[in-house]
Structure 1
């Protein structure tokens, strides 16, 4: 017995759901999940069933035989026109016989003999084949006076009677053409998280909009529309820290020494080409001196471009498992959450995730700690020595932090962020993830403990550096590099706005 999922598109008529359930029962299938909501789409139903391979083959075969199984999600043609009917009994009936014969789904019909145009009928149709539309128009033109208002073959103007077809077309616009099986699977996964969010009292339309807005926002900030906010800090003679805040998602940090460059987090894969151009603008060339990448955690905005670089990638073993399982909630109490799993798949798809290749896993803790955070390793970037601190599993399992007490540096990943330094655009983008997973932290209590420990460590470091002219720089996974001023995060130094050059 295995679990299968499929999509049914059935008549909006009494008994349709009952007929499908009868077929599933007939072949010993057990329904694990069903979702149908007329407010979203009056004909599309999502199923998950447990059955043997043979039973599932018979179930889907029978559903296909009666026209219920949806095996493709191709865009429909949309036609809107006015037709002038004779004002006599049976005129509408005769006209509708043509549309019915063509298999057209009427999305809109509008007629009023007391209105400004008493003989004009306005109709919108959704059809599956352009050839059918052409044949229908030829038939109608020979019988009636017609005015074509709109004829669209892209699927962009379909109405909500075929909501999922229109939604699939909008996904295509973001990711390009894809296999039908992939789109059907993505639709089913989206429907599943919408079902979960509806159970929590959320508006289903907002959930669909958040998914599409996430993909569009990333797409609209790549290439020649890319930009970043950049900070530079001299750490010691010949050693410079760079912070690049990307348009969406996390920041990239580079530590440049006379002999090497160390990268901390990579940003989204979709930004890679634009990021490399930006590095050249700042005199970093093609990073030929890049020696290694440190990944703080497995979210795509922090490691999604790691596979582009032919250098070792150092990360926590749980981060590796999150990448392997494609589920950011791996190892947490939310591991079975459909929201977390879908979000991981969605963001990896939209951001063109490129997984690291040459992976080196940090060792287990050896007994040393900084507050509640175990020390699991150390490394050097030039003369700067870092401790690698293991997180508690608050934001994600496997998140790590980097700490240099002598140079006053804390790379706090997504556990300490100067939210006030985020632009409105970045804050709005971040809110999309917060809605789709209800909380970006897989364990909010542990995330709070991580933040408390890191801020206490920053205060302790500031006290130790007093009189040297140095401050403890808090390098959050998002936002500006900051220092603590009276307990509040305050951006430090100048922030330069970089904009990609138009080609």
Structure 2
């Protein structure tokens, strides 16, 4: 039985290397499904996906390992840059290079000009995997030459682009902690795959790698003492109040509270959970045990990624449950086979410390009742507030749901309707990373436009009925401020305050 396998080859930057690797794959009847190599990024690294039987794949990798072509580890490499004073005699450079070769060093930069300002000085930068080899090389060189160390780094931060993917792996390690080589190699292969896809669409692959790293770095940089949220508090009924918490990155967290019991709509990223609970305590919302109900609007990590920290059973659409299980936000849509969507789900779940609810109940299948174009799946209640659960069409993700109270003027629109103008620049910049990496955050843009028009229409109709009673339809989007319609446009409602750890 044949299967698809992936591996990374690290081969000499010389004529015939690719042909030699292809010959090994052909020898064992492997079929190359994907290959990506760009010496402008990394002159020695090639990514492969091949179809072969399990036995033949093992033979392929064994043969590639035997000739030194198989990448099996991503150890942090040391970077060493120094100048060395060589005698101006025939063979001096050759003897010097013999020492670097014996140490296993990879030369990334070399500079010498006997007509320049320093005619006897050679400047070299090296990458070495074994820290002990660095010390041994320096000892050998110091005993023979006058040298000056210009840079010496063992963290991998100063590696040059001759080992680009090793450096990238080290930067990923800094975001997620130490990981097995097998996992890192797989993650790098996936990252390379979306870079290949976006490059074929005219994008710069460097921007892809930078966007992946910036996503993880931004999340880490907004936790702990750097955590903040923009907060709205709105009276809904005599017994129920609504809190809207805009997270530093990702989606909003909503809490409906009677003062004794809380209902949470979406959870934010898992990485923010401790910060969110400290914030809840500040606003008198208690700890995890006070949340008797948890409703998940859809399966993106910024909306369901902290559900596992709460003891309450999470209510969700079956599509949301299935997306969480398959680890692909495009599941159930026409974009299901998109490599961009699959990678983004894996990446954001990793960086955001994804911890979805372990205990969940799915809303029932749609019946005959509908609200606008949306089937009604049931209701959720807290105190004297009842919210209808409306089934989306699958424009943003399969299984996205909306919550609606006609009498109280509440419409939770998840990521179908967002007041983008209310996003501060930092949030807008973070959101743009996802837009770039998946080209569109909607798995079906046609359906997403249809849903948005219908929800805006529902809000406008609700307003017409409520205005005589001096009430409005409050639109609670998945991101941005709770808003109302003003001349057809979304306008933030009431006062928005800032919570931060240093100034709660």
Shorter-normalised TM-score: what interval?
Answer: over 0.9
Separation in structure 2 between the aligned mates of residue 320 and residue 475 of structure 1, nearest angstrom: 23
1:259 is displaced (CA, Å) by: 4.2
Separation in structure 2 between the aligned mates of residue 236 and residue 342 of structure 1, nearest angstrom: 43
Separation in structure 2 between the aligned mates of residue 344 and residue 251 of structure 1, nearest angstrom: 19
Task: Give the 5 Å matches for 1:25-174.
Answer: 25-174=26-175
Verify the 8 A CA contact 2:262 2:285 in the aligned structure 1.
no
Separation in structure 2 between the aligned mates of residue 267 and residue 455 of structure 1, nearest angstrom: 24
Verify the 8 A CA contact 2:392 2:401 in the aligned structure 1.
yes
Verify the 8 A CA contact 2:288 2:311 in the aligned structure 1.
no
Q: Give the aligned partner of residue 500 of structure 1.
A: 501
1:301 is displaced (CA, Å) by: 0.0
Q: Give the aligned partner of residue 178 of structure 2.
A: 177
CA deviation profile, 1:370-389 (whole Å, cap 9, x unmatched): 12111111121111111111
Whether 1:297 and 2:298 are equivalent positions in the alignment is yes
Give the match's secondary structure for 1:254: strand
Separation in structure 2 between the aligned mates of residue 203 and residue 21 of structure 1, nearest angstrom: 27
Task: Give the 5 Å matches for 1:178-197.
Answer: 178-197=179-198
Q: Give the aligned partner of residue 402 of structure 2.
A: 401
Separation in structure 1 between the aligned mates of residue 101 and residue 417 of structure 2, nearest angstrom: 61
Separation in structure 1 between the aligned mates of residue 237 and residue 343 of structure 2, nearest angstrom: 44
CA deviation profile, 1:332-359 (whole Å, cap 9, x unmatched): 1110000000000000000000021110
Task: Give the 5 Å matches for 1:274-285.
Answer: 274-285=275-286
Whether 1:15 and 2:16 are equivalent positions in the alignment is yes
Q: Which moved more, 1:295-304 or 1:81-90?
A: 81-90
Q: Give the aligned partner of residue 380 of structure 2.
A: 379
Verify the 8 A CA contact 2:288 2:309 in the aligned structure 1.
no
Verify the 8 A CA contact 2:410 2:473 in the aligned structure 1.
yes
Q: 1:36 to 1:284 in 2, by over 3 A?
A: same
Verify the 8 A CA contact 1:261 1:287 in the aligned structure 2.
no
Q: Which runs of 5+ in 1 are unaligned?
A: none
Separation in structure 1 between the aligned mates of residue 332 and residue 26 of structure 2, nearest angstrom: 36
Whether 1:215 and 2:236 are equivalent positions in the alignment is no
Separation in structure 2 between the aligned mates of residue 502 and residue 466 of structure 1, nearest angstrom: 37
Separation in structure 2 between the aligned mates of residue 259 and residue 176 of structure 1, nearest angstrom: 39
Q: Give the aligned partner of residue 350 of structure 1.
A: 351
Q: Which moved more, 1:475-484 or 1:361-370?
A: 361-370
Q: Give the aligned partner of residue 234 of structure 1.
A: 235
Verify the 8 A CA contact 2:10 2:45 in the aligned structure 1.
yes
RMSD (Å) for aligned C-alpha atoms: 1.1
1:292 is displaced (CA, Å) by: 1.2
Q: Provide TM-score, normalisation by structure 2.
A: 0.98
Q: Give the aligned partner of residue 425 of structure 1.
A: 426
Verify the 8 A CA contact 1:259 1:382 in the aligned structure 2.
no
Give the match's secondary structure for 2:108: strand
CA deviation profile, 1:226-283 (whole Å, cap 9, x unmatched): 1000000011223110000000000000000144210000000000000000001111
Separation in structure 2 between the aligned mates of residue 466 and residue 126 of structure 1, nearest angstrom: 70
1:112 is displaced (CA, Å) by: 1.8
Verify the 8 A CA contact 1:225 1:500 in the aligned structure 2.
yes
Give the match's secondary structure for 2:264: strand
1:287 is displaced (CA, Å) by: 4.3
Q: 1:384 to 1:502 in 2, by over 3 A?
A: closer
Verify the 8 A CA contact 2:344 2:438 in the aligned structure 1.
yes
Separation in structure 2 between the aligned mates of residue 372 and residue 113 of structure 1, nearest angstrom: 79
Q: Provide TM-score, normalisation by structure 1.
A: 0.99
Give the match's secondary structure for 2:140: helix
* Runs of 4+ more than 4 Å apart: none
Q: Give the aligned partner of residue 244 of structure 1.
A: 245
